[in-house]
Amino acid sequence: MLTDLFDQFVPALREGIVETCRLIARGDENIGHAAHAGLVEAMRDGDSDRAAAVLADEIRFSLSLLRPAADPATD
């Protein structure tokens, strides 16, 4: 039963991830490549602290692109 639910959920999850990536990239196909390379390097080197820092920075950056700019009139 759980497998069936998961199978039904995967297409919606994939669609959401693809849409989020599209919104973040905004036409820049190379966005995130440097962070990905840094994450792979850190993992290859066994440096979990650096991997966590790279990932946290990339998540913060991605979220900043998804959040609307603050409106000074409403701040």
Q: What is the DSSP string of 21-47?
A: HHHHHTT-TTTTHHHHHHHHHHHHTT-
- Asked if residue 72 is part of any domain, the answer here is no
> What residue numbers bound the domain in which 19 lies?
2-66
How many domains, the chain? 1
CA 67 centroid distance within chain: 13
Residues 14-48 pLDDT 10s: 888 788 777 777 777 777 888 889 999 999 999 99
The gap between the terminal CA atoms of the chain, to the nearest Å, is 48
- Asked if residue 31 is part of any domain, the answer here is yes
Mean pLDDT of the chain: 83
Taking residues 11-15, report their average pLDDT. Answer: 86
